Amino acid sequence: MDFELSEDQRAFRDTARAFAAERIAPNAGRWDEERHFPAAELREAAALGFAGIYVPEEHGGTGLGRLDAAIIFEELAYACPSTAAFLTIHNMVAGMVARFGDDAQRARFLPKILTAAHFVSYCLTEPGSGSDAAALRTRAESMGDGTYRINGTKAFISGGGIADLYVTMLRTGDDSARGISCVAVENGTPGLTFGVPERKMGWNSQPTALVNFADCIVPVDNRLGREGEGFRFAMMGLDGGRINIAACSLGGARACLDIALAYVKERRAFGRPIADFQALQFKLADMATELDAARLMVHRAAASLDAGHPDATRHCAMAKRFATDICHRICDEALQLHGGYGYIKDYQVERFVRDLRVHRILEGTNEIMRVIIARKLLEAA
């Protein structure tokens, strides 16, 4: 077991770190306040290969693994978890098109996805089906002429309204998980509309909106895979998504720990730096220890997924549950160490607290992660 990064991993980690420091960090606070979507900077990230990280090289991607992606997303999230998280979704969709699409679909969609000329969204959640994803109701009815007619609504869609392509889970058959298919819907298709962007606690550098389908006609040729395979695709995508969002939590927590370390060395109380007080030293020690433990779990889960390990789903659920809970707590502790200054936007810690809070909800709530973990344990017992 080797805990050191390879030469290649250090190279793309350093590339991501430099890009985050130069192009994301100086702007992240403004993007948050202005609710600005940084399209230009995301396209610059794509030029570095960060829009198709685990798309095979033969399809134009970078051809890296899930562990490599976790390393990259941690570095990007160190500057802005919201922006990094949008890129994780973009990569997830790119990977789905590469893996489940046919040659014609890959040739049609991937070139623009991999350059971020087109941004992409993933549509699974609905107003009435969040954790119970298999209960989705949005339906695609075959018209018998090579098209589907789609009706329904998707909720909490990152990139809703600005994305160019929506890879959508739709009911094409019965009410079971076997009745769900995966269809790519292009922006501009008649009948496709969007709700007003949600006013959110965090993740403000990316829009979130309802995606509405009203007699939306889409070619059957836009379906990825066969009818009935959509739910399987969705669940396979979620394992990787859980690693990605956990990695974004690592980046945000590491940033807050570094900010806190710098602050306690400068801030003075009772005639000396507050870093001299043992109570604060113990808090910093716990934060660093917990961050390291979370990273080890995330990297183990990513390596399991890369290796096709039979326990990969459990490892991913455990890493997501632990890392997102712990990293949010680290950010909150960093805010506490700042006292009243932590509540002020100038110090940036409050932005990380707000951005990381949603990580405990999306890609499956942490309560659902516990259900998955327990189920896998009981199956093996």
Residue finishing a domain among 114, 148, 181: 114
Residues 18 and 41 occupy one common structural domain: yes
Which of 313, 343, 321 shows the shortest CA–CA distance to 331?
A: 343
The model's confidence at residue 208, banded by pLDDT at 50, 70 and 90, is very high
The model's confidence at residue 94, banded by pLDDT at 50, 70 and 90, is very high
Residue finishing a domain among 167, 193, 228: 228
pLDDT tens sequence across 140-166: 999 999 999 999 999 999 999 999 999
Q: How far apart are CA 20 and CA 79, in angstroms?
A: 6
Residue 2 belongs to a domain: no
Residues 194 and 129 occupy one common structural domain: yes
Q: Average of pLDDT values for 108-132?
A: 92
Question: Which residues fall within 8 angstroms of residue 329, CB to CB, at 6 or more apart?
Answer: 290
Residues 95 and 61 occupy one common structural domain: yes
Residue finishing a domain among 203, 228, 253: 228
Q: Please, which residues bridge with residue 151 across strands?
A: 139
Annotated active-site residue 363? The verdict is yes
Residue 319 belongs to a domain: yes
3-state helix, strand, coil in the chain (%, to 5): 60, 15, 25
270: left (phi over 0), alpha (psi -120 to 50) or beta: left
Domain count, the chain: 3
Q: Average of pLDDT values for 38-64?
A: 97
Domain, as residue range, for 336:
231-380
Over 80: is that where the pLDDT of 376 sits?
Answer: yes
Residue 47 belongs to a domain: yes
Residues 248 and 223 occupy one common structural domain: no
Q: What is the pLDDT of residue 95?
A: 95
Q: What is the pLDDT of residue 132?
A: 74
Residue 1 belongs to a domain: no
Residues 131 and 104 occupy one common structural domain: no
CATH number, domain of 93, equals 1.10.540.10
Residues 300 and 376 occupy one common structural domain: yes
Q: Average of pLDDT values for 23-39?
A: 98
Residues 358 and 246 occupy one common structural domain: yes
Question: In the chain, what percentage of residues exceed pLDDT 70?
Answer: 100
pLDDT tens sequence across 230-257: 999 988 888 999 999 999 999 999 999 9
Pair 53, 62: CB distance under 8 Å = yes
Residues 97 and 185 occupy one common structural domain: no
Question: Which residues fall within 8 angstroms of residue 264, CB to CB, at 6 or more apart?
Answer: 273, 274, 275, 280, 284, 337
> Of these residues, 41, 75, 350, 363, which one is catalytic?
363
pLDDT tens sequence across 256-269: 999 999 999 999 99
Residues 240 and 306 occupy one common structural domain: yes
Q: How far apart are CA 208 and CA 63, in angstroms?
A: 29
Q: What is the pLDDT of residue 134?
A: 74
- CA torsion sign for 295, 299, 301, 302 is positive
Query: CA triplet 252, 255, 257: central angle to 5 degrees?
Result: 110
Residues 91 and 223 occupy one common structural domain: no
CATH number, domain of 316, equals 1.20.140.10
Q: What is the pLDDT of residue 225?
A: 96
**pTM summary value:** 0.95
Across the chain, what does the average pLDDT equal? 96
Residues 235 and 374 occupy one common structural domain: yes
- Total residue count of the chain as it appears in this document: 381
Q: Average of pLDDT values for 324-342?
A: 97
Q: What is the pLDDT of residue 372?
A: 95
Q: How far apart are CA 347 and CA 108, in angstroms?
A: 44
Residues 245 and 349 occupy one common structural domain: yes
The model's confidence at residue 32, banded by pLDDT at 50, 70 and 90, is very high
Q: Tokens 């306040």 sit at which residue?
A: 33
Question: In the chain, what percentage of residues exceed pLDDT 90?
Answer: 94
Q: Average of pLDDT values for 285-301?
A: 98
Over 90: is that where the pLDDT of 289 sits?
Answer: yes
